């Protein structure tokens, strides 16, 4: 376990964090469990200076946040908005609460009969931003310059294919029509899937040109609802698994790690996903800590998403401490294989954010919190 000093420089810690992140993913005996509290922008609209004080008090729990770089004067005080943006796939997104993600307002493939005329940009035109926020696309030069800054700061360089295949299909086709088309093996669904996959693969091939090296490639692919997968195992295997294998092999040829994310209850899909060969699986604890331990512990690095619906906003200090302690005891191994991901949304009270930071210190870093 690292011996951290109170005055540890953030850049030094970020470098240490990156090293241990990579070691945890590879089961190479990290010195601590990588743990981070992710503060969504909406939280700064609500708590402002009070939130910055918590970051200053527990900086190692917020490796992605430098309190000296947070510009509160640029954060409006009005939490509510109503704006629309169109992304490069043709989806129109509607934002209702500032700092939170939008919902699809218009689907380019509301009718799958439109798929043959549906076209995507040339990947060379630029990198598409998730939800087209703050704009639909940036240049590759801008993205690679951002990677350079991450390198300079000692941080993890991650390339994201935001909403990969199944989840991107949900962005462009209404879910009820999509699930029926998948069930039927509809040719129009297969055309849409191939167009998305070809575009995403083109983006990955350009990202591969970044000469200084990408640490991890993120595949964001929500496959679950609150209670079950949104797709049958046989359909995941038939239509999506071949693409997963192709993409993951390409990532590994870059000497990068494959990070696969899915929200929801996806336990029945675990084995199929692992067959594709990801290095890190980011899942929610609603899959059950005991169940995750039985099915995944030691087989793949688990980046566990802590319950943001009940525990984080409504749990007591004791609830939060007990849960994180249980996660560490049940899922960590002596060689690593565990990370903890804590996303914070309204209406989480300020004290719970502090409790979450304290659990990172106590159970992941081995530091008794103040």
pLDDT digits (tens, 9 = 90+) for 262-281: 999 999 999 999 999 999 99
- What is the pLDDT at residue 99? 85
Q: Which of 108, 230, 242, 233 is nearest to 180 (CA)?
A: 230
Q: What is the mean pLDDT of residues 318-330?
A: 98
Kindly indicate the confidence band of residue 62, based on its pLDDT and cuts at 50, 70 and 90: very high
Q: Are 276 and 299 in contact (CB under 8 A)?
A: no
- From 42-46, 53-57, 161-165, the region with the lowest mean pLDDT: 42-46
203, pLDDT greater than 80: yes
> pLDDT tens for residues 225-234?
999 999 999 9
Question: What is the pLDDT, as a whole number, of residue 9?
Answer: 80
**What pLDDT sits at residue 95?**
95
- Whether residue 31 is predicted with pLDDT greater than 80 in this model: the reply is yes
Q: Is the pLDDT of residue 10 over 60?
A: yes
Are 85 and 133 within 8 A, CB to CB? yes
Domain spans of the chain? 10-79+112-365
Q: What is the pLDDT of residues 219-255, one digit of tens each?
A: 999 999 999 999 999 999 999 999 999 999 999 999 9
| CB of 243 closer than 8 Å to CB of 210 | no
pLDDT in the model for residue 353: 98
- Model confidence at 283, pLDDT cuts 50, 70, 90, reads very high
Would you give the DSSP letter of residue 264?
A: S
**What phi, psi does 342 have (nearest 5°)?**
-125, 105
| Domain 10-79+112-365 fold | TIM Barrel (3.20.20)
Residue 217 CB: number of other CB atoms within 10 A?
26
The mean predicted confidence, pLDDT, of the chain is: 95
6 confidence band (pLDDT: 50, 70, 90): low
Tokens of 68: 């000296």
Query: At 5, is the pLDDT very low, low, confident or very high (cuts 50, 70, 90)?
Result: low
Q: Provide CB contacts within 8 A for 137, sequence distance 6+.
A: 88, 121, 125, 126, 127, 128, 129
Contacts 24+ apart (CB under 8 A), 120-129: 120/88, 120/89, 120/195, 120/196, 120/199, 121/88, 121/199, 122/202, 123/199, 123/202, 123/203, 123/205, 123/206, 124/202, 124/206, 127/203, 128/87, 128/88, 128/89, 128/162, 128/203, 129/87, 129/162
Of the pLDDT bands very low, low, confident and very high (cuts 50, 70, 90), residue 7 is low
* Residue 4: pLDDT over 70: no
Mean pLDDT along residues 143-172: 97
Place 369 in a pLDDT band, splitting at 50, 70 and 90. Answer: confident
């Amino acid at each position: 376990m690292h011996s951290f000093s109170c005055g540890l420089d953030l850049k030094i810690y970020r470098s240490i964090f990156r090293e241990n992140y990579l070691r945890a993913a590879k089961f190479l005996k990290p010195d601590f469990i990588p743990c981070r509290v992710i503060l969504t922008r909406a939280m700064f609209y609500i708590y402002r200076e009070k939130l910055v004080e918590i970051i200053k008090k527990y900086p190692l729990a917020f490796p992605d946040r430098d309190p000296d770089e947070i510009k509160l004067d640029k954060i409006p005080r009005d939490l509510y908005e109503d704006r629309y943006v169109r992304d490069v796939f043709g989806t129109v997104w509607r934002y209702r609460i500032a700092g939170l993600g939008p919902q699809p307002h218009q689907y380019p493939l509301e009718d799958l009969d439109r798929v043959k005329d549906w076209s995507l940009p040339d990947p060379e035109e630029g990198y598409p931003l998730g939800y087209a926020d703050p704009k639909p696309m940036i240049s590759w030069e801008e993205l690679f310059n951002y990677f350079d800054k991450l390198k300079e700061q000692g941080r993890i360089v991650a390339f994201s294919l935001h909403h990969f295949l199944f989840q991107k299909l949900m962005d462009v086709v209404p879910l009820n029509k999509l699930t029926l088309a998948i069930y039927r093996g509809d040719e129009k669904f297969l055309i849409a899937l191939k167009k998305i996959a070809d575009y995403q693969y083109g983006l990955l091939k350009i990202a591969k040109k970044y000469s200084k090296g990408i640490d991890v490639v993120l595949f964001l692919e929500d496959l679950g609802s609150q209670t079950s997968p949104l797709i049958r195992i046989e359909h995941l295997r038939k239509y999506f698994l071949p693409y997963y294998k192709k993409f993951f092999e390409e990532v590994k040829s870059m000497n990068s790690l494959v990070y696969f994310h899915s929200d929801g209850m996806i336990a029945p899909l675990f084995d199929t996903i692992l067959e594709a060969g990801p290095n890190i699986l980011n899942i929610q604890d609603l899959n059950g800590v005991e169940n995750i331990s039985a099915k995944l512990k030691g087989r793949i690095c688990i980046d566990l998403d802590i319950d943001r619906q009940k525990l984080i906003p409504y749990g007591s200090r004791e609830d939060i401490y007990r849960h994180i302690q249980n996660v560490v005891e049940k899922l960590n191994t002596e060689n690593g294989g565990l990370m903890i991901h804590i996303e914070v949304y309204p209406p989480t009270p300020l004290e719970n954010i502090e409790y979450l930071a304290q659990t990172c210190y106590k159970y992941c870093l081995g530091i008794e919190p103040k």
